A = this chain, B = another copy of it.
Amino acid sequence: KKQYRIAVIPGDGIGKEVMPEGLRVLEAAAKKHGVAVHFDHFDFSSWDYYEKHGQMMPDDWKEKIGKHDAIYFGAVGWPAKIPDHVSLWGSLIKFRREFDQYVNLRPVRLMPGVQSPLANRKPGDIDFWVVRENTEGEYSSVGGRMFPDTDREFVTQQTVMTRTGVDRILKFAFELAQSRPKKHLTSATKSNGISITMPYWDERVEAMAKKFPGVKWDKYHIDILTANFVLHPDWFDVVVGSNLFGDILSDLGPACTGTIGIAPSGNINPERNFPSVFEPVHGSAPDIAGQGIANPIGMIWSGAMMFEHLGEKEAGKSIVDAIERTLAERTLRTKDLGGNADTTACGKAVAEML
């Protein structure tokens, strides 16, 4: 039986606090379901590493982690100590680009025991996926500044959409929609205002839709789409968007389900040519780091997504079930959810629920 090798990168801030709980639960689930898994720990992709070495990662980072089956990632960034463009572009965004993790996948699900900020929404009412393009689009590196420090100064940055890049994310999203009971896909656009790239996106959506006749699809401009996340979150099943639109929707969606503290994400290379990265949606949270109060559910749920990606569906599903049962009990939830458990107590609770 195959032994999975996982690269573990806790990173910065609360990333270091929630990681042990993620590992605790993964180990318990592996044991229960007979999954053979080995964890290799790395200290790079963090401010601590940068302070010692003057760079976010060693030169041979690709050799160190490029052959693992997946990367389990905490959080990176500490704006007061290191600019985002150094820390994020030197690790997280580098992984996405260089490991061709072109899918960013995030569930939006209202869980039992979590209070939605939306009135009268119950678990079951909100349950969809955001599929985000993760390598190109608005996050390009093309552009620059002219006439600096004069009144004529201007800055440009290109949004870049390639046929390859757009078609492969749409294919992933349509396939996901097809695999779900509702078989419904929603595309985020803004072709009425962003008049060159967004009409191209729409054109490719229409072309791809022809290959998936079983999937019902619609599209909304991003402005009214964010409004509909709040007004009609029950409308959605699979929502696909560009790098920027997907980024927005996958923070707004979890906010509508109560908190981004529990939301997981996968940065996925579906072809498995490179390892995929699984990380909580939340960041390093310098404001609460060091207090032991961070919510470990985002980290744990990301671990469940990782097991599912590896093909260990049962183990993944049993973790999500354990999360649901833990969240349902006030004494086991962390403070951000109105509970009274600390990070470790919550992590232990999930592991015991398994």
Contact B119 A190 (CB under 8 A): no
Question: How far is it, in angstroms, between the C-alpha of A150 and the C-alpha of B157 when the chains are bound?
Answer: 25
Residues of B close to A193: CB separation below 8 A: 88, 93, 138-139, 243-244, 247
A210 on the B face (CB < 8 A): no
Residues of B close to A93: CB separation below 8 A: 193
Closest Cβ of chain B to A116, distance in Å, is 7
Question: How far is it, in angstroms, between the C-alpha of A254 and the C-alpha of B224 when the chains are bound?
Answer: 10
A227 on the B face (CB < 8 A): yes
Question: How far is it, in angstroms, between the C-alpha of A290 and the C-alpha of B317 when the chains are bound?
Answer: 50
A118 on the B face (CB < 8 A): yes
Question: How far is it, in angstroms, between the C-alpha of A93 and the C-alpha of B139 when the chains are bound?
Answer: 26
Residues of B close to A138: CB separation below 8 A: 159, 193-194
Majority SS at the chain A contact face: mixed
Residues of B close to A144: CB separation below 8 A: 196
Residues of B close to A195: CB separation below 8 A: 85, 89, 139, 141, 157
Quick one: copies of this chain in the complex?
2
Q: Assign chain A's interface to a size class.
A: 35 or more
A223 on the B face (CB < 8 A): yes
Question: How far is it, in angstroms, between the C-alpha of A255 and the C-alpha of B193 when the chains are bound?
Answer: 20
Residues of B close to A164: CB separation below 8 A: 151
Question: How far is it, in angstroms, between the C-alpha of A251 and the C-alpha of B221 when the chains are bound?
Answer: 11
> Which of B88, B160, B191 makes the CB contact (< 8 A) with A156?
B160
Residues of B close to A143: CB separation below 8 A: 158-159, 196-197
Residues of B close to A196: CB separation below 8 A: 141, 143-145, 155-157
A248 on the B face (CB < 8 A): yes
> Which of B150, B161, B250 makes the CB contact (< 8 A) with A154?
B161
Contact A158 B157 (CB under 8 A): yes
Contact B243 A255 (CB under 8 A): no
Residues of B close to A50: CB separation below 8 A: none
Closest Cβ of chain B to A91, distance in Å, is 12
A57 on the B face (CB < 8 A): no
Smallest CB gap from A77: residue in B = B192
> Which of B120, B200, B222 makes the CB contact (< 8 A) with A145?
B200
Given contacts A163-B152, A200-B145, A248-B222, contact A157 B194 (CB under 8 A): yes
A63 on the B face (CB < 8 A): no
Contact A226 B244 (CB under 8 A): no
Residues of B close to A254: CB separation below 8 A: 227
Residues of B close to A118: CB separation below 8 A: 117-119, 230
Query: Which residues of A are at the interface with B, using a C-beta cutoff of 8 A?
Result: 77, 84-85, 88-89, 93, 115-120, 138-139, 141-145, 150-164, 190-197, 199-200, 222-224, 226-228, 230-231, 243-244, 247-248, 250-252, 254-256, 260
Given contacts A153-B163, A223-B247, 18 further A-B contacts (CB under 8 A): A88-B193, A93-B193, A117-B119, A118-B118, A139-B193, A139-B195, A141-B196, A143-B196, A145-B200, A158-B158, A190-B247, A193-B243, A223-B251, A226-B248, A226-B251, A227-B260, A228-B255, A248-B248
